[in-house]
Amino acid sequence: MTTVFIISAPSGSGKSTLVNLVRSGDSRLLFSVSYTTRKPRGHEQPGESYNYISREDFEQRIRRNEFLEYAEVFGNYYGTSRNALQQAKAEARDLVLDIDVQGARQLKRSIPDAVTIFILAPSRDILEQRLRTRSEDSEDVIERRLHDAAIEIRNWREYDYVVVNHHVNESAETLASIIRAERVRRSRMEEQIRPILASFDQKPPMLF
């Protein structure tokens, strides 16, 4: 059984750090590496942060229906490959998607039992400070990200869980707990319960 975890957050909320922390402690999680037409930032490595492709290549993949979902964010395309879900299913792992609000909406429609988690910084000032410390973006990009964050966070009610990222370690624990709890939700336990019930059926209770 594969559970899909969708994580959205305005850029600079600390989402990547949190996701990396949770991934490193949970080998059942498969992280989907998205495709994008944006250029690599700072120390980002192709195939690790994203698969970087041209606009033309992206549009061809759209036509070939290769994306589970895709969206245009900050003037660039971003998309999740269908292969990611197939791989997670084949390996009986859970899939983690770091995607924006539009992508989360699309996926929730096609995978209704996907779990959605929204992460946000405790305030605008802290978000701005984090974006500046990261110093990977130019001034106008930072301004745009702050502007977009203000719009994005208005959608928080559409998510199943909301994590305010005050302290990275605490938030990572919260995120890991959400994942652990969702795995034992009754609707996901059918496959695990069946052999347990069968083992009891083999030895029916003695009737007095």
Is 100 among the residues that bind ligand 5GP (CB under 6 A)?
yes
106 burial (CB, 10 Å; 0-12 / 13-18 / 19+) is middle
Q: Is there binding between residue 77 and ligand 5GP (CB under 6 A)? A: no
Whether residue 84 contacts residue 70, with contact meaning beta carbons closer than 8 Å, is answered with no
The answer to the question of residue 108 lying near ligand 5GP (CB under 6 A) is no
Contact call for residue 37 and ligand 5GP (CB under 6 A): no
> In this structure, what DSSP letter does residue 100 have?
-
Minimum CB–partner distance for residue 149 and ligand 5GP (Å)? 9
Q: How many residues bind ligand 5GP (CB under 6 A)?
A: 16
Closest contact distance (angstroms) between CB of 184 and ligand 5GP is 27
As separate numbers, helices (DSSP H) first and strands (DSSP E) second, the chain gives: 8, 9
Backbone angles phi, psi at 7, to 5 degrees: -115, 125
CB of 107 to ligand 5GP, least distance (A): 8
Interaction between residue 80 and ligand 5GP (CB under 6 A): yes
Q: Which is nearer to ligand 5GP, 144 or 188 (CB)?
A: 144
The CB density around residue 33, as the number of other CB atoms within 10 Å, is 16
Minimum distance of ligand 5GP from residue 4's CB (angstroms): 13
Contact between 102 and ligand 5GP by CB under 6 A: the answer reads yes
Q: How far apart are CA 186 and CA 184, in angstroms?
A: 6
For 68-100, the DSSP string reads: EEEEEETTEEEEEEHHHHHHHHHTT-EEEEE--
Give dist(CA 99, CA 116) in Å, integer: 10
**By the rule CB under 6 A, 165 interacts with ligand 5GP:** no
Residues that bind ligand 5GP (CB under 6 A): 8, 11, 34, 38, 69-71, 73, 78-80, 98-100, 102-103
